[in-house]
Chain A
Amino acid sequence: EPEVTQTPSHQVTQMGQEVILRCVPISNHLYFYWYRQILGQKVEFLVSFYNNEISEKSEIFDDQFSVERPDGSNFTLKIRSTKLEDSAMYFCASSVDRANTEAFFGQGTRLTVV
């Protein structure tokens, strides 16, 4: 069964460093998303991406964050100058259609900023 894969599964970084979280969406999907889940809190939408551009973003997704689809398979989330409060699970998701009624999620990357 096709699945969304994310790497690494766990990333530890020092405050102020840049991190890149990687995702390989399901191959025939066209819409891509990043969500995050701080421990004990709700899943939060960060950004959606279609046709090589951001289609929606939340207020969380400020200039510290950027997304890219550098090739035909990868979808990345870059976090510049990480802060302690960026520590969370980051989930990538993809969907085949615009309605996002069936978004499939990856296993997540646990980011720990120390």
Chain B
Amino acid sequence: QKEVEQDPGPLSVPEGAIVSLNCTYSNSAFQYFMWYRQYSRKGPELLMYTYSSGNKEDGRFTAQVDKSSKYISLFIRDSQPSDSATYLCAMRAGNNRKLIWGLGTSLAVNP
């Protein structure tokens, strides 16, 4: 089983839609969970991070972690064309700094 799995999409939604992006993982030692946004030919940009289980909200973005199910989500409300990018989940255990990444989900928000 792969450590982190993420559906690569592509996901296409109309402007204003609520977007749900997800990752599953197998390593129960993971404690830090991040979501990055990557525009074409650019470096990953940190959107949000969450420690352990729970929800975190920042503007139109909400990150959720369910450690019992080994499942994390990123919700984007009122999606905009500028949200069109690849969204990558990344995570790590508490005792090291090595980030393990998902493949990324390509999102297109259509005007």
- A102 contacts the other chain (Cβ, under 8 Å)? yes
Chain A residues in the interface with B (C-beta under 8 A):
4, 6, 31, 33, 35, 41-45, 48, 55-56, 58, 91, 93, 95, 98-108, 110
Q: Please, how many residues of chain B have a CB less than 8 angstroms from a CB on the other chain?
A: 24
Can you list 11 A-B contacts (CB < 8 A)?
A42-B101, A42-B103, A43-B99, A45-B100, A58-B98, A99-B97, A100-B32, A104-B46, A105-B44, A105-B45, A107-B41
Q: Are A103 and B43 within 8 A (Cβ)?
A: no
Chain B residues in the interface with A (C-beta under 8 A):
4, 32, 34, 36, 41-46, 49, 51, 88, 90, 92, 96-104
Q: Are A91 and B32 within 8 A (Cβ)?
A: no
Q: Chain A residues near B45: list those with CB within 8 A.
A: 105
How far apart are B37's CB and chain A's nearest CB, in angstroms? 11
Q: Are A43 and B44 within 8 A (Cβ)?
A: yes
CB within 8 Å: A-B pair count: 60
Q: Chain A residues near B103: list those with CB within 8 A.
A: 41-42
The DSSP consensus for interface residues of chain A is strand
Q: Which of B49, B51, B102 has the most CB of A within 10 A?
A: B49
How far apart are A45's CB and chain B's nearest CB, in angstroms? 5
Q: Which of B43, B46, B92 contacts A102 (CB 8 A)?
A: B46
Cα distance A44–B41 in the bound complex, in angstroms: 16
- Give B8's nearest chain A residue, CB to CB: A40
Q: Chain B residues near A45: list those with CB within 8 A.
A: 98-100
